[in-house]
Amino acid sequence: MSKEALHKNKKQLDHVVIRFVGDSGDGMQLTGTQFSTSAALLGNDIATFPNYPSEIRAPQGSLYGVSGFQVNIGSNEISTPGDDLDLLVAMNPAALKTNIKDLKPGHMVIVDSDAFTRSNLQKAKYDSNPLEDGSLSNYNVVPVPMTSLTREALKDTGLDSKSMTRSKNMFALGMLYWLYSKDPKYTEEFLKKKFKNKPEIVEANIKALKAGYHFADTLELMPTHYVIGPAKKEKGTYRIIMGNQATAWGFMAAAKKAGLDLFLGSYPITPATDILHELAKWRNLDVIAFQAEDEIAGISSAIGASFAGKLAITTTSGPGLALKGEALGLAIMLEIPLVVVDVQRGGPSTGLPTKTEQSDLMQAMYGRNGESPAIVIAAKSPADSYDMAFMAAKLTLEHMTPVILLSDGYIGNGSEPWRIKTLDEMPEIKTYQITEYVEDFHPYKRDPKTLARPWAIPGTPGLEHVIGGLEKDKVEGTVSQDPLNHEEMVKLRAEKVRKVKDFIPPIEAEFDQEGDLLVVGWGGTYGSLKTAVKKYREENPDHKVGLAHFSYINPLPHGVADLFSKYKKIIVPELNMGQFADLLCMNYPQFDYIKYDKVQGLPLSSEELIKEFKKIIKDA
Amino acid sequence: MTTNIKYTFKDFASDQDVRWCPGCDDYVILRSIQKALPQIGRKKEDIVFISGIGCSSRFPYYMDNYGIHGIHGRAAAIATGTKLANPDLSVWVASGDGDSMAIGGNHFIHAIRRNIDLNYVLFNNEIYGLTKGQFSPTSLLGQKTKSSPYGNVQAPFNPGELAIGAQAKFFARAAGNDAKLQTKLYIEADKHKGLSLVEILQNCVIFNDGAYKDITDKSVKEDAQLVVEHGKPMIFGKNKDKGLVLDGMKLKVVKIGENGITEDDILVHDAKEKDPTLHLALVNLKEPVVMGVIRAVDDKTLEDREAEVTEYAKKVNPIKSFEELLFSGQTYEVK
């Protein structure tokens, strides 16, 4: 076969999961983002997930300094960043060592062979060079001297060798563009814009990118390249959005829709801090982002701002939610609008700060003193975070009681294409705010439909009133220690949350509407569960499996018992010890729930889920 | 917003029964603030009182303004949110020594550091009253309380020293029984832009009665207190014949007319001096205890800085609307 013919050997792929790994200084996040962005711009569906070490700049070449970025691109709907890898790009021995176990046997791993020096091998705790000792014989290893090839390509740029070496990630990216038949033009545009004041850097990076592309084109080790066709998606304008960014924007949208300014009181905590970063940029768009002295001041300042009439939110992760508990109880007692976002991470205590978990559910439900119910809702994907943040704001404003929005590290840091939803597409938000004098004002006189109280804000003449954490009279809001009034108030606050049930969508199942097995999930596991159910049904067409994913947790939506009764078995996979299953058991004890729990700081994989589904259906 | 409405103190009294112990200095503080407010020229709907927990923190219930009775220690943090949300409001904090300097110490020092325009009234009775008599962060060493039956072993804070250490720009002090001086100080505190801390030496009649009697009793107060005024010599005493001079790095009490000392030798109080050295010496002085506005330095407030940065962001940020933001950067069409 002529070389020409060989290279026309393009193979169609449905989807591919790629992971870029290297030192935390190797630019793997940028490489991964560029690759996935180009793929999306060229019509693929994508989902991505970064994987940073918790050290900021760990010693070069060390095992704990490995930084990664995973991307799943496809011509069909992509719901997760993927499980096992189809391709691994490893920039040094430590990156290879910590990631090779996730590569499917027989699949390709591209390594920078220049980085496999004795010292780097030692740092990665390799006794011998894995490129030479046969230990990788199960894989298709493609060693490429990327560092020296990049330097060679850039030798006329006048850059010093350290700067030249820094462009090797672009060399790797160029190879990948050839391998998956992607036009590198978007990355070229990106580089020109990003380094517009440093033309020598633009030139070097584009040269390295092209060098990588052409090198792959001529490399005999890569006889085939692949095509992943465009995915069918709803018409519209898209962008790639990260979960935490979508959360921030969802609140901005809600504030605009409600005609209020947005106030964030927050304290930095992984993995929630990106919401603070994002909102801090937009003070020109009526956002006040206040970085407080601690978690408690974060929520307390938000309470003060809510009292003064802002849409007030506070953002945190598990340990921070624990610290905010008392103040959240105050907000529940005051009956003011407030949203608390918990981007969950592995716990307890400091736990696994950069890893994902769903173990704050019970804390969100019950982690306060006294009878203090809060509305609890959860985002199911990076893009869904926009809708759920919007919804959290809508519910708190329309029901005058705090909302906890649960996200997690997996969807907070993950990204996917999002069809941009303008304000016109979002539902109306009606507030109870009063800014002008009204006759017959009573701070705790309720709207019988929602039990919400009026929100009269300081500056409004004639409506001066004091609210506080002491139990209060059910109408006037003045301090009351009356036993029967207290009981009535406890019940009113609970009923107010229960009434939200009538304002949220009923639970529905995807896939089979009745049958052998109902898979029940909530929050950030949606993509994993959907992928697993889809695959399982393809493999087992005579089995009837449905998926019911809960976005609303307190109160639970209408229709749960009806739906659950249509299936023989119910499985509840969660990234905790079965907290949602326990909650369902409390509310709907007539059903049996099979728990499937995972607490490794990692998402659920389709493989493990499918195995479990099989077992359950076979046993039935 | 300023107003021409003529209020009297009664306009600021709520219909709630005041429930402090009979004889408590808190009554004096309440009445002094109610008397000060008609003189600050603010509409009553623009005034907000925010408190934490403790005897002092019942304060908002007794005012006919907007208010929040918050949670223990967090008044400054809640008030910070309210003020940032609406800088046009006159926001007051009512808090005690435990509320401000024990459980709420972090919020206290950071509110001061940021110089947010709050009027902060610190009810310092050197004891926990509402929990019935434990030592507080201002209780004296050796003080016997229910939680220190053999004497307190934790050295106290001096609130003025702590505040100035935290970059306070305004610090004033008055005796709990001195309604006249208090009213004056509350008006000064409201006038000052930035965080204004007013410490009240407040007698708790039940759990720490007489803590300040050597300073505040009618019979001794003129010799035990020095009420400073900006631009005036620091003279005190029943016969107005005692004053402060500098002896090396230390303040010293001298008698006018003795050893050739004349009124001209007495230090003139400069509350506006940025260097806090002398202000620190004044807040730490025990004999006499210094009252009045000790420090009042003009500086930008947090709200000023926020507004400046927002103006700057509006100028330099190319994205002018939320809709523009949604479509900014890399987007693509699916047809």
Express each pLDDT in A29-46 by its tens digit.
999 999 999 999 989 999
Nearest CA in chain B to A287: B310
Higher pLDDT, residue A232 or A171: A171
Q: How far is CA B236 from the centre of its chain?
A: 23
Q: Is A281 on the interface with B (CB under 8 A)?
A: yes
ipTM of the modeled complex: 0.98
Predicted confidence (pLDDT) per residue in A128-148, tens digit: 999 999 999 999 999 999 999
Closest CA to A39 of A86, A74, A79: A74
- One-letter amino acid at A464 equals E
- State the pairing for strand pair A236-242/A415-419: antiparallel
Domain that holds residue A570: 510-619
Q: Is A285 on the interface with B (CB under 8 A)?
A: yes
> Is domain B9-216+300-304 given the CATH code 3.40.50.620 in the classification?
no
How confident is the model over A293-315, as a mean pLDDT?
98
- Say whether both A451 and A520 belong to one domain: no
Query: Exposed, middle or buried: residue B33 (CB in 10 Å: 0-12, 13-18, 19+)?
Result: buried
Q: How confident is the model at residue A233 (pLDDT cuts 50, 70, 90)?
A: confident
Beta strands in B63-215 (DSSP E): 66-69, 90-96, 118-124, 170-175, 196-201
Domain assignment of residue A207, yes or no: yes
- Say whether both A351 and A492 belong to one domain: no
Which of chain B's residues have a Cβ under 8 Å away from the Cβ of A75? none
Could you tell me how many CB contacts below 8 A there are between chain A and chain B?
A: 198
- Say whether both A538 and A395 belong to one domain: no
Using the predicted structure, report yes or no on whether residue A400 has a pLDDT greater than 90: yes
- Say whether both A406 and A450 belong to one domain: no
Beta strands in B147-223 (DSSP E): 170-175, 196-201
Using the predicted structure, report yes or no on whether residue B97 has a pLDDT greater than 70: yes
Using the predicted structure, report yes or no on whether residue B259 has a pLDDT greater than 80: yes
Which of chain A's residues have a Cβ under 8 Å away from the Cβ of B43? 461
- Say whether both A194 and A249 belong to one domain: no
What is the distance between the terminal CA atoms of chain A, rounded to a whole angstrom?
A: 55
Question: Who among B71, B81, B317 is closest to A284 (CB)?
Answer: B317
- Say whether both A474 and A528 belong to one domain: no
pTM given for the model: 0.95
- Say whether both A543 and A594 belong to one domain: yes
Which of chain A's residues have a Cβ under 8 Å away from the Cβ of B110? 292-293, 297
Domain ranges, ordered by start, for chain B: 9-216+300-304
Predicted confidence (pLDDT) per residue in A281-291, tens digit: 999 999 999 99
Q: Which CATH number characterizes residue A356's domain? A: 3.40.50.970
Closest CA to A347 of A367, A327, A377, A374: A367
Q: In a 3-state reduction of DSSP, which class is residue A192?
A: helix
Q: Structural domain tally of chain A?
A: 4
Domain assignment of residue A234, yes or no: no
Q: Do A235 and B335 touch (CB under 8 A)?
A: yes
Interface with chain B: mutation pick from A194, A239, A284, A425, highest number of B CBs within 10 Å: A284
Q: Which CATH number characterizes residue A586's domain? A: 3.40.50.920
What residues of chain A, 328 to 367, have a C-beta less than 8 Å from chain B?
329-330, 334
- Say whether both A412 and A267 belong to one domain: yes
- Say whether both A106 and A138 belong to one domain: yes
Q: Chain B closest CA to A227's CA: distance in Å?
A: 19
Predicted confidence (pLDDT) per residue in A323-358, tens digit: 999 999 999 999 999 999 999 999 999 999 989 999
